[in-house]
Amino acid sequence: MKKVPFITKEQAEEIAKKYPTPFHIYDEKGIRENARRLYDAFSWNKGFKEFFAVKATPNPTILKILKEEGCGTDCSSYTELLMSKRCGFDGSNIMFSSNDTPTSEFRYANEIGATINLDDITHIDFVKQACGKIPERISCRYNPGGKFSIANTIMDNPGDAKYGLTRPQMTEAFKTLKELGAKEFGIHAFLASNTVTNEYYPMLAKILFTTAVELAKETGVHIGFINLSGGVGIPYTPDKEPNDIYAIGEGVRKAYEEVLVPAGMGDVAIYTELGRFMLAPYGHLVTRAIHEKHTHKEYIGVDACAVNLMRPAMYGAYHHITVLGKENEPCDHIYDITGSLCENNDKFAIDRALPKIDMGDLLVIHDTGAHGFAMGYNYNGKLKSAELLLREDGSVLQIRRAETPDDYFATLEGFWDKI
């Protein structure tokens, strides 16, 4: 899959006149079209809903765009709940999937009517005490343990994950929750991250559908929804093809009709919680080459750093890079692309074949629309960049301004005002 930026060199240079690099920019047209494809692929399920994982891209403008496309939100913290509420999402459109959760956060989630997704069986008493009673609509996160494999390839290791209830605990939890007044139940699971295969969701769905039928028989509860969570990924490297969301939707439909319908559970709603799939390809980190270094290797220093995109430093993750204006030039130079943190892992690329980079060139770092800006931090006193939106009409809107030193010092009580 060829990686093509959604902005040109001319656009980027014009934007940089008003909003200096580095900056994150998102493609509204791409976001909307992708959301519509997802809903079309699952249109066979009357209750289908996407609960966008706020942690991936916690910006109100992005959330409102997704809200207009019919999405809800999946929140993992009090702040994300507040943001969702402020953006106009009502409780029926908010899932609260957290772990090691403070009492106050469960209480607030319940107050606004969000669906609480329990991560552990001990959280039943915790929620009861926090909220005064168990909500009538509730979900439990299932972890089957072991390793999750597709075609003999291990995709992930749920048995090592801190999340979710065991299969026996699911039965016990549903029985207890029913006794405490819960009336509508949901099942949630996340078994693998960033899968680039059309087989993951259908396989996960069959596991969850089978579990749902068993739980309904064992406990007599009404299972209203099954949440397939996230895990549908994107191809970060250009040698891979993207997932086909229509093939994925059809695979889930077949599992639904094979398992749930014969069991009289053809009214179960399907939910998803996609962050990366929904946003990652529709975001760029735009940065400028400001230094070159010729020592044991060839280095290009840019004005972005791991503060702006942590994934390469944290995970060794690959993000494709385009040198704007040089898309058709040969990639005959080998560079490490580095940021300015005092850490040797602050590298966006290592031994990457790219066209010759000149000082002042603009680089697009691809697939930063999810888990890009969101994972930023202030190490070395670095400040977070602006977030921009390329609107459908071609105009550019600043949706979060860049941080200033005043922002950095604002929480230092009695310090900054004295300097």
> Could you list the active site residues?
342
Pairing of the two strands 153-156 and 269-272: unpaired
The answer to whether 121 and 165 are in contact (CB under 8 A) is: yes
Q: What is the 3-state secondary structure (H, E, C) of the chain?
A: CCCCCCCCHHHHHHHHHHCCCCEEEEEHHHHHHHHHHHHHHCCCCCCCEEEEEHHHCCCHHHHHHHHHCCCEEEECCHHHHHHHHHCCCCHHHEEEECCCCCHHHHHHHHHCCCEEEECCCCHHHHHHHHHCCCCCEEEEEECCCCCEEECCEEEECHHHCCCCECHHHHHHHHHHHHHCCCCEEEEECCCCCCECCCCHHHHHHHHHHHHHHHHHHHHCCEEEEEECCCCECCCCCCCCCCCCHHHHHHHHHHHHHHHHHHHCCCCCEEEECCCHHHHHHHEEEEEEEEEEEECCCEEEEECCCCCCCCHHHHHCCCCCEEECCCCCCCCCEEEEEECCCCCCCCEEEEEEEECCCCCCCEEEECCCCCCCHHHCCCHHHCCCCEEEEECCCCCEEEEECCCCHHHHHCCCCCCHHHC
Report the distance separating Cα 303 and Cα 13, nearest Å.
15
284 forms beta bridges with: 25
Token pair for 262 = 């014969």
**Cβ neighbours around 156 below 10 Å, total:** 18
Token pair for 191 = 């078994």
Pairing of the two strands 137-141 and 184-188: parallel
The answer to whether 4 and 364 are in contact (CB under 8 A) is: no
